[in-house]
Amino acid sequence: MSIGLKNKHIISMRDLDRSDLDLLVETAGAIEEGRIKPDMAGRIAALLFFEPSTRTSFSFDSAMKRMGGETLLMKGTGSTSVQKGESFSDTLRTIERYCDIIVMRHAVEGAARFASEVVGLPVVNAGDGANQHPTQALLDLYSIKKTHGTLEKLKIGLVGDLRFGRTVHSLAQALAPYNPEFYFISPGFLEMPEHIKAELTAGGVKYTELKEVDSVVPELDIMYVTRVQRERFADPEDYERLKGSYIITLDTIKDAKEGMRILHPLPRVDEIAEEVDASPHAYYFEQAENGVYMRQAILSILTGAVK
Amino acid sequence: MSIGLKNKHIISMRDLDRSDLDLLVETAGAIEEGRIKPDMAGRIAALLFFEPSTRTSFSFDSAMKRMGGETLLMKGTGSTSVQKGESFSDTLRTIERYCDIIVMRHAVEGAARFASEVVGLPVVNAGDGANQHPTQALLDLYSIKKTHGTLEKLKIGLVGDLRFGRTVHSLAQALAPYNPEFYFISPGFLEMPEHIKAELTAGGVKYTELKEVDSVVPELDIMYVTRVQRERFADPEDYERLKGSYIITLDTIKDAKEGMRILHPLPRVDEIAEEVDASPHAYYFEQAENGVYMRQAILSILTGAVK
Amino acid sequence: MSIGLKNKHIISMRDLDRSDLDLLVETAGAIEEGRIKPDMAGRIAALLFFEPSTRTSFSFDSAMKRMGGETLLMKGTGSTSVQKGESFSDTLRTIERYCDIIVMRHAVEGAARFASEVVGLPVVNAGDGANQHPTQALLDLYSIKKTHGTLEKLKIGLVGDLRFGRTVHSLAQALAPYNPEFYFISPGFLEMPEHIKAELTAGGVKYTELKEVDSVVPELDIMYVTRVQRERFADPEDYERLKGSYIITLDTIKDAKEGMRILHPLPRVDEIAEEVDASPHAYYFEQAENGVYMRQAILSILTGAVK
């Protein structure tokens, strides 16, 4: 295990090496299939959602409770001692006395890293602003593994807003060790950032950049769709003109390989047409369920309930 | 089992036939008496209270936890993906991945029915606007059974606002198969609606309409009281003049049969004087407790924990 | 057992006699050391925080869940039947039907006492306005016992705002039976109130009043620090001039006895410098953890899970 799991934290995908990723993906699978049944009875996870997110908190809450564990839930900062002038560090050092592991979502970049340095418990980053959301990338990895039986040498299209979407950045980093071939499909000004591309190039990862999705669909094993927000376009007419390239319909995927699967971190707005939901290619709700298994793996490994 | 339980949903009293009602009432009794001990360990109910109700959510929460199960609790919509533009259908199809059964309260009529058509899990309607609140009617039924040993051929007075009170509508429907004799006691403009009366008549159920409660008290086995809201009266003086007829005091019930019991869905404001609470006729707090047993029955039957 | 534990409530320190205190402190210790493992499976505590307090509610929540029990959590009054005009008494008499013990924090003095008179379940006061916060005093007592092996004949300095701090009032009362020697250290207008001093004198308890802390540090076994709020000073310059006497630094405690421990009810603002946290004298975060053990003792004794 590398810095991440060895230190009993999951803060950034950068802390996790390939052996960590393999361990997490395998454990999630073993839990889903019932080969491992972690017993978290008497263990408590504090779910500190300084920034609210029902979906993510439900997923962690469910993961803990499926294993017989319990949670303490904090939403927002309204009723906390923060109002009385307490430092963030004191808040964390008090809460660690009530639980076994801390899961934290915070609007400020680096908040989870700070927490991991202040407390003596494992800390899981459930999203820190625009920075990292590593458990999303991990459940994406597990979803890809489940659908293709391997993570190796897959052709993966990332579609939509690749500039501001932290999800696709983390996922690109997560997949890098597995010899992927990436297709980055976005409007010109929502391209994958240079620093991510440089990192991939340094690691020997191939990628192709495109402005529309149709031509590449027959190549793909995975199509990972994120939302292109209308507000990102300086000229709304650009959006109206372009959106056809970034809204996935049954027509878009008519030439897809049989095993191609569409993933989406959810919530979606209109970037995948509802008609696609009934297609065998649609996988985004299963993906949400996979999040529970991955978070069970994370919580049980970090607390030592699974060795 | 009829459409309701067979389909693993409780959305409307209309879906439940007499065999469903009997099964639910008997199971609630068996749970209260300890003859059935459903084991819900590892099972999770999502309590989605889009419209808040501490009383009802506590009752379901307690029911699940008394059986070793767990809950995920959502209050309001403030922090959900709804704000990000997600469809109600997507919200539900994501949440179903985190739990085993969905309990939903929503301000919009038909919301629970919609949910039951969208998800693959059992759905329990915990109140959809002015429409249905079937678990309240079921706990009322169980309360009546407990107090009289039977549901058959009872004389039941429904008192107060019979026009807008969804509770009394559902209860009248629920009792109809058991040959009741109803007394509908309300001010003229808060009468039981024609469609409910027509339905009862079609089913051969007898009812009498009255404008004041006193004369009928000696006849009653059950007096079911609901609040008459001052705001319903165009002329507040009408309310002041009439309220004596709809506020239950010790004097009102002085000629009641020994076994007569007073029920109320709670919260009450002033429609039952506090002096009545110590009377052996008062049953409304026991009724609240019966709600936990009935909801244990509902949750355990729908999830298959009790066959 | 005296009035408090015999009546299955913890409302005020005044209700608890020395045998109650000894039982609670011993039980907390036995639970922490694993000699007693209370089994609260299937039992439910309603945590009614009419006035929010994340710290205190987390502590009770954790205590209940560490023992396999469950909680129902209410924060504020926004979504309750109170809005619909329900009496406080009815709210409590309904909620008692859903649980086995009620923990209540309320802004109004006497609210917990009222609750204990209205319901048939054990009630724990988790703070009623400026009045009492007995479980804080009990965890303080347990912390002192743990750090010194005894509660007898200790020299205890109470530092800061002794006039408005309910915590120090309750603690002085709690320690009185154990032959303490008190040092009350505060600015003149934030002195320990006369009625507390009269009570101590009547009980034969010695105390000394001082205006600054330095001279007495070498005497102390326990230094209990509370916040001096700037707003209490009519003239802010008084605060700036005086605050050095009430901010604990490493320099303040340089001549302390080896075994001296600093306690603080938390949250702190700046009355203990962060440099003190790494000192062996600092004990305030351990103290917060002790709160979980003490609340486990309280909840399990009052519900009868521990005899």
Tell me the per-residue pLDDT of B69-88, one tens digit each, with 9 for 90 and over.
Answer: 999 999 887 555 666 788 99
Does the distance separating the beta carbons of B42 and A68 come in below 8 Å?
yes
Of B61, B75, B268, nearest to C72 by CB-CB distance is B61
Distance CA B196, CA A23 (A): 62
Q: What percent of chain C has pLDDT over 90?
A: 79
For B32-51, the pLDDT digits (tens) are 999 999 999 999 999 999 99
**Measured between CB atoms, does A269 come within 8 Å of chain B?**
yes
d(CA A173, CA B149): 67
User: Under an 8 A CB cutoff, do A52 and B81 touch?
Assistant: no
What proportion of chain B, given as a percentage, has pLDDT over 90? 79
Q: What is the pLDDT of residue A254?
A: 97
Mean pLDDT of chain B: 92
In a shared domain, residues C72 and C151: no
A267 Rama sector, left if φ>0, alpha if ψ -120 to 50, beta otherwise: beta
Enclosing domain of residue C39 = 3-132+290-302
Task: Please report, in angstroms and rounded to a whole number, the separation of the first and last CA atoms in chain C.
Answer: 12
Using the Cβ of B62 and the Cβ atoms of chain A, whether some distance falls under 8 Å is answered with no
Q: Which residue has the higher pLDDT, C269 or B259?
A: B259
A121-135, B271-285, C231-245: which has the minimum mean pLDDT? Answer: C231-245
> Which amino acid, C159?
V
Q: Is the minimum CB–CB distance between C163 and chain A shorter than 8 Å?
A: no
* Domain co-membership, B110 together with B159: no
Beta strand ranges found along C89-237 (DSSP E): 101-106, 123-128, 155-159, 181-185, 206-210, 222-225
Instruction: Quote the ipTM score.
Output: 0.94
Q: Are B288 and B250 in contact (CB under 8 A)?
A: no
Mutate: best of C48, C53, C60, C61, partner A, most A CBs <10 A: C61
**Closest alpha carbon to C165 in C143, C191, C147, C144:** C191
Pair A124, A61: CB distance under 8 Å? no
Residues A200-252: tens digit of each pLDDT:
999 999 999 999 999 999 999 999 999 887 777 778 887 787 777 789 999 99
User: Which tens digit of pLDDT belongs to each residue from B137-169?
Assistant: 999 999 999 999 999 999 999 999 999 888 899
Nearest neighbour of B86 by CB, restricted to A59, A267, A292: A267
Q: Is A98 on the interface with B (CB under 8 A)?
A: no
CATH number at residue C101: 3.40.50.1370
**Residue A265: its pLDDT value, please?**
95
Count up the domains in chain B and report the number.
Answer: 2
Beta bridge partners of residue B142, listed in sequence order: none
Contact C98 B52 (CB under 8 A): no
User: How far is Cα C167 from Cα C224, in angstroms, rounded to an integer?
Assistant: 10
Q: Give the confidence band of C267 by pLDDT, cuts at 50, 70, 90.
A: very high
Residue C78's pLDDT band, with cuts at 50, 70 and 90, is low
C46 and C100 in a single domain? The answer is yes
Identify the pLDDT of residue A81.
65
With CA atoms as reference, the chain B residue closest to A274 would be B90
Name the band, by pLDDT with cuts 50, 70 and 90, for residue B262.
Answer: very high
Residue B34 in contact with partner chain C when CB distance is under 8 A: no
Query: How far, in Å, are A137, B219, C183, C214, C275 from residue C252 at the CA level?
Result: 50, 81, 16, 6, 11
B243 confidence band (pLDDT: 50, 70, 90): confident
Same domain membership, residue C144 and residue C254: yes
Inspect the interface and report whether the beta carbons of B75 and C72 lie closer than 8 Å: no
- Looking at the structure, tell me whether residues C91 and C200 fall in a common domain: no
**Is the same domain home to B266 and B298?**
no
The confidence band for C2, taking pLDDT boundaries of 50, 70 and 90, is: very low
Give B183-238 pLDDT, tens digit per residue.
999 988 899 999 999 999 999 999 999 999 999 999 999 999 998 877 777 788 87
Q: Is the pLDDT of residue C79 over 70?
A: no
Does the pTM surpass 0.90? The reply is yes
Chain B's closest residue to A67, CA to CA, is B42
Check C266 against A90: CB less than 8 A apart. Answer: yes
Residue A166 lies in a domain: yes
For residue B217, how many other CB atoms are within 10 A of its CB? 20
B70 to chain A, closest Cα gap in Å? 7
A105 has catalytic annotation: yes
Q: Which residues contact C223 (CB under 8 A, 6 or more apart)?
A: C157, C159, C213, C217, C248, C253, C256, C260, C261, C262, C263, C281
Residues A107 and A239 placed together within one structural domain of the fold: no
Residues A48 and A128 in one domain: yes
Output the known binding site of A for L-aspartate.
84, 166, 227
CB contacts of A79 in chain C (<8 Å) are 52-54, 75
Residue showing tokens 């009653």: B220
Say yes or no to pLDDT of B29 above 60: yes
Considering the domain architecture, whether residues B157 and B276 belong to the same structural domain is answered as: yes
A93 touches chain B (CB under 8 A): no
pLDDT band at C175; cut points 50, 70, 90: very high
Residues C140 and C281 in one domain: yes
Contact assignment for C42 to B289 by CB distance below 8 Å: no
Give the residue-averaged pLDDT of A181-186.
Answer: 97
Task: With respect to residue C307, please indicate whether it lies within any of the assigned structural domains.
Answer: no
Residues with Cβ within 8 Å of residue A139, at least 6 apart in sequence: A28, A287, A290, A291, A293, A294, A295
pLDDT at A292 > cutoff 80: yes
Q: Percentage of chain A with pLDDT > 90? A: 79
CA distance A97 to chain C (A): 5
Above 50 in pLDDT, residue A3? no
Please report whether residue C77 resides in a domain.
yes
**Local confidence band at B1 (pLDDT 50, 70, 90 cut-offs):** very low
Same domain, C228 and C239: yes
- The answer, for B77 touching chain C at a CB cutoff of 8 Å, is no
Confidence category of residue A4, pLDDT binned at 50, 70, 90: low
Q: Considering the domain boundaries, does residue A307 fall inside one?
A: no
Same domain membership, residue C182 and residue C99: no
CB < 8 Å to B97, chain A: 285-286, 288-289, 291-292
Chain B contact for C42 (CB, 8 A cutoff): yes
Distance CA C237, CA C250 (A): 24
Catalytic residue among B133, B146, B169, B281: B133
**B307 domain-assigned:** no
Which residues in chain B are closer than 8 Å to A65, comparing Cβ atoms? 42, 44, 70, 72
Per-position DSSP letters for B137-205, written without gaps between them: HHHHHHHHHHHHS--TT-EEEEES-TTT-HHHHHHHHHHGGG--EEEEE--GGGPPPHHHHHHHHHTT-
- Percent over 70 (pLDDT), chain A: 96
Nearest to A139 by CA among A264, A305, A51: A264
**Residue A194, helix vs strand vs coil:** helix
CB contact under 8 A, B267 and C70: no
> What pLDDT does residue A1 have?
43
Residues of B in contact with A267 (CB under 8 A): 81, 84-86, 90-91, 94
Amino acid B227: pLDDT? 87
> C177 at the A interface (CB within 8 A)?
no
> Catalytic one among A8, A9, A43, A105?
A105
- Unique residue bearing structure tokens 């070498």: C218
The single residue of A84, A97, A195, A307 carrying the catalytic annotation is: A84
Higher per-residue pLDDT: C131 or A88? A88
User: How confident is the model at residue A240, as a pLDDT?
Assistant: 80
One-letter amino acid for residue A54 of the chain = T
Chains with 3 or more CB pairs under 8 A to chain B: A, C
Top pLDDT among C33 and B132 is at: C33
Cβ contacts below 8 Å, chain B against chain C, sum to 59
The set of catalytic residues of C is: 55-56, 84, 105, 133
Which of B65, B231, B296 would you mutate first to test chain C, the one with the most C CBs within 10 A?
B65
